[in-house]
Chain A
Amino acid sequence: MTLLALAAAAIAAYAAVLLHAEDQRLIGALIVLGFGTAAAAAKFGLLSRLGQAGRAHPRLAPLLAVAALIALILVLREDHFALLMIGTTLLYCVACWGLNLQFGRAGVVNFAGAAFFGTGAYTTAVLAAHTALPHWLIVLLAGAVAALLGSLLILPILRTRGHYAALITIAFGILFKTFLEVNDALGGPQGLKLPGFTLFGWNLNDNITVGEQELSFYVAYIALALVLAIFAFLLVRRLEHSWIGLNFDAVRMDELAATTFGINVARWKITAFSIGNFLAGLAGSVQATMLGFIAPNNFTLSDSLIMISIILLGGLGSFWGVPLGAAIVLILPEKLQVIQEYRFLLFALLVVAVLLLRPQGLVPRAQRSFTDRIR
């Protein structure tokens, strides 16, 4: 337990220093230090002990992560840019947990993650501008519309297999961006502006004052993103430790054997695909309100590939791999400007390196322990 708490504190402190640092040489040194520490910890068995501790106290690790994150947010309370990065990372976690449910669990590849993210974002922009619906409902509707769009796309996917299913999602991703660009009602290539977000009478764009302290307005959005992340985590976690998670595995590993034992392959692929797209849509919705502005260029095939890289880096089907992968893929290039321009090259190299050296990802998926995780 102390080990877990120490690790959470160390990661939070490291993240605070890294996110706050401006000097490029310091950032470079910090990144080297981070990777070096992780490699050393792995070498001396510290990571596997950490993993054991996590499995022994399955409820503690998420709580510590939330506590560390809240501490991090409070430390960086006035740093708009750092907070925006944390918020974006959290929302990508939500979307990638969803995509990992599809890809890592049920075996449905989705190269159009950004399109479903974008569906959520555009649904939010349109509904917020043209209707008087309460904003919390709009977020939910954004997820629902993404899931609905996915249920149309799943039809051709179910009729094909392997590479062809992947190609269908790629085509859909490209189509989506083109559709936005030529559609003037949706702002065309210039995109749309969103009004400030109001939750239960509270405008999230107002700066928050606590006593004499002024917090960045991003803190409110991050709180919203955190709520979403906790919801996504619980959902994905509960699915994993249930018969449904097992059905996903059966469908991914051997469709014929699954069919022989009465498991309806199409039903579980549709379930995983819809839940995944729902999460991506929710995340896209909150992302849009946080940025206040969206354009087709935010939802390209490259963005979908970024999501896939996060999943592959972290580990297919892994929970904790997603936040780690998201932090590496999203935060590093923002902080280290040298690699900004070459980031896609860097991601490609990273993914290839991980697939070669550690094919199950940085944080390989843990074995399901049915009996003591449910309740």
Chain B
Amino acid sequence: MNALLHCRVLTRRFGGVTALDGLDLSLPRGEILGLIGPNGSGKTTFFNVLTGIYAPSSGHIEFDGRDISACTPQQIYRAGIARTFQRSRLNLELSIFENLMIGNHKRLNSSLWFNLMQRGALAAEVGAAYTEARELMRTFDAPLADRLDEPMAGFTMIDRRRVEVCRALISRPKLLLLDEPSAGMTHEETRALMDDILQARERIADLTIIIVEHEMGVIERITDRCVVLNFGQKIAEGKYREVAQDAKVQEAYLGVESIHEG
């Protein structure tokens, strides 16, 4: 089967620290991959390298049949990778619609001439985008779909998370990166958000997801497969149940906790 994402000996160093150490990873289309590991094990670094914010120190990333190792974040976003952030990076002064449109950048016409002089065509583009934004928002949370013009600052944590996921989804990416979507939310809220994400996924054919998460319930429930990182290296790979039984994983991750508890 033709993989969507293929990373070969991907490495990223910061001075003397190797945050990502020779990672090999292959991701079939349509899979939901869980990326787990203790704090500082390289999960967010991996996202940052994947989205072009950090260039890899060595190794290759192939996405959708194309080498993107040396691409800028802009090119990578255009190629079809979108993400959410561990700590919300929405613009709170802007409305839901405006935040969504930032995520929709590649599908909007940003030329000066179009925006200044072709106001009729611009209005049509805005109208179409508005309808689309409302539809996407409705699959997440119906009441939110009617509040697209309100500033983000007036919304609760879970609503902000929903908007953030929608901002990543609206450009119809092939690969969605979720960086700790449950952070700062209750179990019920997390469950609701995951339901929303799974539901939205059914509407976007072949959407592939990598999710970084500390909430093991979430990982167990929604992932097809897990990769465990420790000190930037892959120490285990497989279904969550298998991985959770792995001795190395228990030592690196779960084991540390049980020692603390004991």
Using CB atoms and an 8 Å cutoff, list the residues of chain A in contact with chain B: 235, 238-239, 242-244, 246-247, 249-250, 253-254, 256-264, 271, 367-371, 374-375
Q: Chain A's nearest CB lies how many Å from the CB of B236? A: 29
Q: Chain B's nearest CB lies how many Å from the CB of A279? A: 14
Q: Which 8 pairs from chain A and chain B are nearest by CB?
A: A242-B115, A262-B77, A257-B89, A374-B123, A253-B91, A262-B74, A259-B73, A250-B102
Known A244-B112, A261-B82; contact A250-B95, beta-carbon cutoff 8 A: no
Interfacial chain B residues near A249, Cβ < 8 Å: 91, 93-94, 98
Known interface pairs A238-B119, A239-B115, A260-B53; 7 further A-B residue pairs with C-beta atoms within 8 A, sorted by A's residue number: A238-B115, A247-B110, A253-B94, A257-B89, A259-B74, A260-B82, A370-B126
Within 8 Å of chain A (Cβ to Cβ): is B109?
yes
The answer on a CB contact under 8 Å between A260 and B119 is: no
Q: Can you list 17 A-B contacts with CB-CB less than 8 angstroms, sorted by A residue number?
A: A238-B116, A247-B105, A247-B110, A249-B93, A250-B91, A256-B89, A259-B74, A260-B73, A261-B102, A261-B103, A262-B73, A262-B77, A367-B95, A367-B149, A368-B98, A369-B149, A371-B126
The answer on a CB contact under 8 Å between B127 and A371 is: yes
Within 8 Å of chain A (Cβ to Cβ): is B120?
yes
Q: Chain B's nearest CB lies how many Å from the CB of A52? A: 15
**A264's closest neighbor in chain B, by CB?**
B74
Interfacial chain B residues near A259, Cβ < 8 Å: 53, 73-74
Interfacial chain A residues near B127, Cβ < 8 Å: 371
The answer on a CB contact under 8 Å between A375 and B120 is: yes
The answer on a CB contact under 8 Å between B112 and A243 is: no
Give A284 to B110 CA distance when docked, in angstroms. 29
The answer on a CB contact under 8 Å between A263 and B105 is: yes
Proximity bits, B85-96, A CB within 8 Å = 1, else 0: 100011101110
Give A238 to B123 CA distance when docked, in angstroms. 12
Give A172 to B93 CA distance when docked, in angstroms. 33
Interfacial chain A residues near B89, Cβ < 8 Å: 254, 256-257
The answer on a CB contact under 8 Å between A243 and B110 is: yes
For B74, B77, B93, B97, which residue has the most chain A Cβ atoms within 10 angstroms? B74
The answer on a CB contact under 8 Å between A260 and B83 is: yes
Q: Chain A's nearest CB lies how many Å from the CB of B106? A: 5
The answer on a CB contact under 8 Å between B108 and A243 is: yes
Interfacial chain A residues near B101, Cβ < 8 Å: 243, 246
Q: Chain A's nearest CB lies how many Å from the CB of B154? A: 12
Within 8 Å of chain A (Cβ to Cβ): is B231?
no
Give A307 to B147 CA distance when docked, in angstroms. 38
Interfacial chain B residues near A246, Cβ < 8 Å: 94, 98, 101-102
**A238's closest neighbor in chain B, by CB?**
B116
Proximity bits, B169-183, A CB within 8 Å = 1, else 0: 001000000000000
**A254's closest neighbor in chain B, by CB?**
B89
Within 8 Å of chain A (Cβ to Cβ): is B122?
yes
Give A371 to B123 CA distance when docked, in angstroms. 7
Within 8 Å of chain A (Cβ to Cβ): is B59?
no
The answer on a CB contact under 8 Å between B105 and A254 is: no
Interfacial chain A residues near B110, Cβ < 8 Å: 243-244, 247
Interfacial chain B residues near A368, Cβ < 8 Å: 94-95, 98
Known A256-B53, A259-B74; contact A374-B126, beta-carbon cutoff 8 A: yes
Interfacial chain B residues near A271, Cβ < 8 Å: 112
Interfacial chain B residues near A261, Cβ < 8 Å: 77, 82, 102-103, 105-106, 167, 171
Give A368 to B51 CA distance when docked, in angstroms. 30
Q: Chain A's nearest CB lies how many Å from the CB of B26? A: 24
Q: Chain A's nearest CB lies how many Å from the CB of B77? A: 4
Interfacial chain A residues near B102, Cβ < 8 Å: 246, 250, 257-258, 261, 263
The answer on a CB contact under 8 Å between A243 and B130 is: no
Within 8 Å of chain A (Cβ to Cβ): is B66?
no
* Contacting residue for A243 out of B73, B77, B115, B149, CB 8 A: B115
Give A344 to B171 CA distance when docked, in angstroms. 50
